Structure 1
Amino acid sequence: MIEDGASTAAIEQAARLLAGGEVVAFPTETVYGLGADAGSDGAVAKIFAAKGRPSDHPLIVHVADASGVAAFASEVPAFAHKLVEAFWPGPLTLILHRRDGIAAAAAGGQASIGLRCPAHPVAHALLLACAQATPPVAGLAAPSANKFGRVSPTTAGHVAAEFGEELLVLDGGPCRVGIESTIVDCTRGVPVLLRPGVLTREQVEAACGEALRSPDDMDGQAPRASGTLESHYAPNARVRLMDAKSLQTALDVLGPDAKQIATYSRAILRTRSDKVLRRRMPDDAQETARQLFAVLREFDAQGVGLIWVETPPDEPEWEGVRDRLQRAAAG
């Protein structure tokens, strides 16, 4: 059921359910999350079961503020403190060394854990209410509120359509960021970018005072992290990325026979078929990020079999959008 996230009664109801080991969906500025008590392995197991997600694929734990880090992390390097000061609350997840015996299921059994402080008033109110619940809940493990590997939800309606009326969904309106958080691994002495988001590399580097490494730069295996599988964020339709010229050529070749195709492009495309769905991609990277998952879900709802997307520009501010589209196309 969908409840108004601005309602104190709805927040208190959600906090009671979470303290009792149940699962609740709630909004963040990035996407809607499917939350459970991060400290309860039994509650976390319900997230994995609901999503159909492998239990060794770690979840991100959401905390109310920077003081919540101490409940889950055993150490925080100086550059990570700088990132917290610069971007929390906000769309940044830090991978830190996990405290022994804490949130093992949420971490997928790893010695590290992903932590984030969301910048959404409903999420913040819920986290505060959970901290005062009986028993208290220090943080919420909350992956995106969708079936594993599929398109992330950016409205309460998306969540309800996926999981049905039995799940409590706190409605906080459409997500203003629209793609998941940037993930930085802080467990290896230097910052390592595991997943790009709307925060650019330059912003992160300026804040922490160090160059961002990639996993390929480092010796040893990177910690597993949410949303870093090759195939992810995929709609039911097959996604293909191509440049504007190739996209137009493909439409020209099919001519009036084109059907069950949707296009999402910055270029204005011509088609001789009235069965091609066309949506214009914004010229602004942040606006594209905000609407991307909703557009993919809309195309799925229209029953198309193919989604042809113009490849985003190879520019820093587009890195997060490119990442999500490349993973969607890999599916």
Structure 2
Amino acid sequence: MITKYWSVDKDVDKKTSYTHIQQAADFLKKNQLVAFPTETVYGLGGNAKEDSAIEKIFAAKGRPSDNPLIIHIANKNQLEELVEEIPEKAEVLMDTFWPGPLTIIFRSKKGALSKVATAGLQTVGIRMPDHPVALQLIEESGLPIAAPSANQSGKPSPTKAEHVKDDLDTKIAGIVDGGATGVGVESTVIDCTSTIPVILRPGGITKEQIEKVIGLTHMDEALTNEALTPKSPGMKYTHYAPSAPFYLVDGSKERIQTLIEEERQKGKKVGILTTEENKQFYHADSIYSCGSRNDLSTVATDLYDGLRSFDYDKVDIIFGEMFPIEGVGHAVMNRLMKAASHQIIQ
């Protein structure tokens, strides 16, 4: 398969951009797969109503089919066609955070979506992305779009079109290049089907922000207990991992540098995932600063690009700094822990 490549501007009204988005939407209408930018990461889009389109998503990603997909919409009219009811707290969350990086779990309307997309569940995760290209593409297609991250399953999520090309070129029909994404980590997922909403995946909208508008929420116990199975779409299996073994280090810069030196003495090429405040301290073969410790949103933005950079540099082992589990730091550490398969050097 030859993958078509469209370059578009965030000003979707520009003639060339609009034409390219229309062409990509036509692919979606024909049940072909199109990768596109959102404010979080690039998504791999397919017609959420059609089994054949969804099966192509699982095949292209190498994703287990018991892992449900998040559905992307462009307006609330689409939502009413897909869900049984809209709980009051979900309505408040939508009014506050949509469009934006928040996925809400609803009870799905029977027959409205492909059972393959929902993995046979009676619930579905839905969000409205805060990206003009994504919204225009969904609008032009006239469809709800199932869109997990546009990467090979298990690899770091793509925040640039070239990341998508690295993983999925010749496996999908098209890629819409809208530049680098903004938030950098996937959407927060919150289940609003229970009396007290449950956050199933931390992301671009923090627990603190959510509780300011709807009050008490719980965190899914599986986020901190490895023995439990995560309930969130896309969180059931290993994710975000670079090719080389990756270890988080709960210790000082000096401790990390000692580990780097020990591995280099063994003849290994070593990478370090660090921050602007600390990058000058380290001596390693590949050093990537993913942002500032004083603003963890910058770390979230560049995290996946950093993890992918070590594959490009062909390192043998990677060490990474740890971050406070507060605000968006919760999402950052959630992704890092999964990338490191929960391997922490004390």
Distance of 1:161 and 1:87 partners within structure 2: 32
SS of alignment partner, residue 329 of structure 2:
helix
Tell me which amino acid in the other structure corresponds to 1:171. Answer: D
Normalised to the residue count of structure 1, the TM-score between the two structures is 0.91
Normalised to the residue count of structure 2, the TM-score between the two structures is 0.87
Pick which of 195-204 and 63-72 moved more. Answer: 63-72
Is 1:241 the counterpart of 2:248 in the alignment?
yes
Distance of 2:230 and 2:312 partners within structure 1: 35
Could you tell me how far 1:280 is from its partner in structure 2?
2.6
What stretches of structure 1 of length at least 5 have no aligned partner? Answer: 132-136
Does the CA contact (< 8 Å) of 1:242 and 1:308 recur in 2? yes
- Matched residue, 1:301: 312
Tell me which amino acid in the other structure corresponds to 1:185. Answer: D
- Matched residue, 2:336: 325
Distance of 1:318 and 1:214 partners within structure 2: 15
User: Which residue, out of 152, 174, 178, partners 2:180?
Assistant: 174
Change in 2 beyond 3 A, CA 1:143/1:255: closer
Could you tell me how far 1:229 is from its partner in structure 2?
2.5
* Equivalent residues in 2 for 1:82-231, closer than 5 Å: 82-103=92-113, 104-131=115-142, 137=143, 139-165=144-170, 167-208=173-214, 210-216=215-221, 224-229=231-236, 231=238
- Matched residue, 1:134: none
Does the CA contact (< 8 Å) of 1:63 and 1:140 recur in 2? yes
Pick which of 7-16 and 78-87 moved more. Answer: 7-16
Distance of 1:146 and 1:320 partners within structure 2: 19
Does the CA contact (< 8 Å) of 2:70 and 2:147 recur in 1? yes
Could you tell me how far 1:223 is from its partner in structure 2?
8.0
SS of alignment partner, residue 328 of structure 2:
helix
Deviating runs (4+, > 6 A) in structure 1?
none
Change in 2 beyond 3 A, CA 1:289/1:223: closer
Distance of 1:268 and 1:20 partners within structure 2: 48
Does the CA contact (< 8 Å) of 2:102 and 2:187 recur in 1? yes
Distance of 1:58 and 1:101 partners within structure 2: 16
Tell me which amino acid in the other structure corresponds to 1:75. Answer: E
Could you tell me how far 1:269 is from its partner in structure 2?
6.0
Could you tell me how far 1:64 is from its partner in structure 2?
0.1
Please list the CA deviations of residues 261-293 of structure 1 after superposition, one character each: whole Å capped at 9, or x if unmatched. 100123346456xx5211234222111111110
- Matched residue, 1:3: 6
Question: How many residues of Structure 1 are paired with residues of Structure 2 in the alignment?
Answer: 319
Change in 2 beyond 3 A, CA 1:222/1:255: closer
SS of alignment partner, residue 157 of structure 1:
helix
Q: Quote the RMSD (CA, aligned, Å).
A: 2.0
SS of alignment partner, residue 126 of structure 1:
helix
Distance of 2:217 and 2:267 partners within structure 1: 44
Does the CA contact (< 8 Å) of 2:248 and 2:340 recur in 1? yes
Tell me which amino acid in the other structure corresponds to 1:83. Answer: L
What stretches of structure 2 of length at least 5 have no aligned partner? Answer: 10-16, 223-227
Does the CA contact (< 8 Å) of 2:260 and 2:270 recur in 1? no
User: Which residue, out of 256, 260, 280, partners 2:269?
Assistant: 260
Does the CA contact (< 8 Å) of 2:229 and 2:236 recur in 1? no
Does the CA contact (< 8 Å) of 2:268 and 2:317 recur in 1? no
Give percent identity, aligned residues only. 39
Could you tell me how far 1:99 is from its partner in structure 2?
0.6
SS of alignment partner, residue 319 of structure 2:
strand
Tell me which amino acid in the other structure corresponds to 1:5. Answer: V
Change in 2 beyond 3 A, CA 1:248/1:128: same
Change in 2 beyond 3 A, CA 1:251/1:222: closer
Distance of 2:288 and 2:184 partners within structure 1: 17
Distance of 1:173 and 1:255 partners within structure 2: 36
SS of alignment partner, residue 74 of structure 1:
coil
Change in 2 beyond 3 A, CA 1:230/1:22: closer
Could you tell me how far 1:255 is from its partner in structure 2?
6.1
User: Which residue, out of 51, 54, 62, partners 2:64?
Assistant: 54
Distance of 2:280 and 2:242 partners within structure 1: 22
